[in-house]
Amino acid sequence: MNDAASEPTASARSEPGEVGLVEPRDFVSPAPFTFDNGLSIPGFTLRYETYGRLNATGDNAVLVCHALSGDHHCAGIHSLTDKKPGWWNNLIGPGKAVDTNKFFVLCANVLGGCQGSTGPSSIDPRTGQAYGITFPAVTIRDMVRTQKRWLDSLGVRSLYGVIGGSMGGMQVLQWSLEYPAFVQRALAMATTAREGAQAIAFNEVGRQAILQDPEWNHGYYPKGGGPRVGLAIARMMAHITYLSDASMDRKFGRKAVAAHHKTAPGTLATGAASAPLGANEASSLSMEGVDPVAPAATFDVRFEVESYLRYQGQSFINRFDANSYLYITRALDQFDLAATHGSLEKAFAGVQAATLVVGFTSDWLFPPEQNRAIALALLRAGKRVSYAELATDLGHDSFLLESPQIYDLVRGFLN
């Protein structure tokens, strides 16, 4: 990872390539932080990564905000054997749409997260125990205010741009409201100023899958344990909302899995990534009074889409905390700029940033009309705003995928 330094030369800017090896760092704020609900913690940590160099005037920074299941690792690799680069590696790097030869790019795991930033799984220094559900309820505004404290510590004097999709787009909007003079450009993709009932409903089903898992234990469980079945189910269902019917049908259709790839009872995933559930987890999936040796019907994996979803659930529980999932989905549900400020136009009254909003035609989680409503409200408030709607059948996650259209939009907006 590059430290803040002088801006690279023009010749260096012309060389396209990869960010390469990066190392996460921690910003530790010893000062107390008070949440929107009035509760406080005695300090917090944000884990982050940076790419490129901060210029002498501290105004070439581009902040990247991640979505619900994302984290601070948005570009580059952590080791030479790392097979999976950061989640937006296709967008960030030398010569790419977010050009690290020109910009100082930053991304932090949000407050309430579980990838190194302070959240429910962190240790409360006042008790020596994990916060669990004693952690204060977190909001999108809380996330942004902690990020501002972090950027100040790095010497960032203004944000050349702040970009993000989904929950990241909510943070983008909050940044331009909360610190209008600090943000020059705001780019929000596949997002909303407030979730509709359907999105809230999906989040609630996911939360209930976790809360009804006996291993949740009212939010108190050992590290590496907890409601693994409930969290996996929550992830499986949520992942469906990130895709589209057309993209799933094209990828999987009704293709059946090979016989040797079918899972045994008590297994979440198939193939090399499969992992048996623990005794308690497996028993929670069985029916009391039914002979497990000779069931009347079998419910192992038959279709490739089932195998894919089980893999998604299994991989998620190995990297995400169930309580963080509860907290962050609730933060998404409660984000409502119109209700908070009286109307969207009033919410955007103080915005100074030039704004680009991007919607995707096949996004049924945060559909195009919700993205369009943000742009229209900014226009009515007299702000500089553009709106782009991209025709794609890849669903909500379109903003994360390879797309020359997205690259051109981002590059043009930032330059």
DSSP string, 16-64: -----B---EEEEE-S-EE-TTS-EES-EEEEEEEES---TTS--EEEE
Domain that holds residue 176: 10-195+337-414
In a domain, 54, yes or no: yes
Say whether pLDDT at 237 is over 90. yes
Say whether pLDDT at 217 is over 60. yes
Q: Report the phi/psi class of residue 92: left, alpha or beta, with left for phi > 0 and alpha for psi in -120 to 50.
A: beta
Are residues 245 and 394 both part of a single domain? no
Phi–psi pair at 253, nearest 5 degrees: 55, -135
Model pLDDT for residues 59-117, shown as the tens digit of each residue? 999 999 999 999 999 999 999 998 899 999 999 999 999 999 999 999 999 999 999 99
pLDDT higher for 391 or 278?
A: 391
Are residues 223 and 147 both part of a single domain? no
Are residues 30 and 164 both part of a single domain? yes
In a domain, 390, yes or no: yes
User: What pLDDT does residue 298 have?
Assistant: 81
Are residues 187 and 206 both part of a single domain? no
User: What pLDDT does residue 276 have?
Assistant: 43
Say whether pLDDT at 191 is over 60. yes
Say whether pLDDT at 247 is over 80. yes
Q: Where are the alpha helices (DSSP H) in 135-244?
A: 140-154, 167-178, 197-211, 228-242
Q: What is the helix (H) or strand (E) element at residue 73, kind and residue range?
A: none
Domain count, the chain: 2
In a domain, 5, yes or no: no
Model pLDDT for residues 159-189, shown as the tens digit of each residue? 999 999 999 999 999 999 999 999 999 999 9
Say whether pLDDT at 245 is over 60. yes
In a domain, 2, yes or no: no
Are residues 303 and 164 both part of a single domain? no
Q: Point out the domain boundary residue: 323, 347, 366.
A: 323
Model pLDDT for residues 293-321, shown as the tens digit of each residue? 667 788 889 999 999 999 999 999 999 99
- Could you give the CA distance from residue 4 to residue 58 in angstroms, rounded to a whole number? 9
Are residues 343 and 265 both part of a single domain? no
* Residues 302, 340 contacting (CB under 8 angstroms): no
In a domain, 372, yes or no: yes
Q: Quickly list DSSP for 324-340.
A: HHHHHHHHHHH-BHHHH
Are residues 284 and 242 both part of a single domain? yes
* Residues 366, 360 contacting (CB under 8 angstroms): no
Are residues 225 and 176 both part of a single domain? no
Model pLDDT for residues 369-392, shown as the tens digit of each residue? 999 999 999 999 999 999 999 999
In a domain, 225, yes or no: yes
User: What pLDDT does residue 263 have?
Assistant: 55
Say whether pLDDT at 272 is over 80. no
Say whether pLDDT at 274 is over 70. no
- Could you give the CA distance from residue 273 to residue 293 in angstroms, rounded to a whole number? 25
Are residues 281 and 142 both part of a single domain? no
Are residues 241 and 308 both part of a single domain? yes
Give the catalytic positions in this structure.
166, 363, 396
CATH number (domain holding residue 175): 3.40.50.1820
CATH number (domain holding residue 288): 1.10.1740.110
Q: Point out the domain boundary residue: 298, 323, 348.
A: 323
Are residues 54 and 74 both part of a single domain? yes
Are residues 72 and 153 both part of a single domain? yes
User: What pLDDT does residue 168 have?
Assistant: 98
Please give the distance of CA 148 from its chain centroid, rounded to a whole number. Answer: 18
Q: Point out the domain boundary residue: 276, 294, 323.
A: 323
Say whether pLDDT at 133 is over 90. yes
Model pLDDT for residues 356-370, shown as the tens digit of each residue? 999 999 999 999 999
Q: What value does the mean pLDDT of the chain take?
A: 90
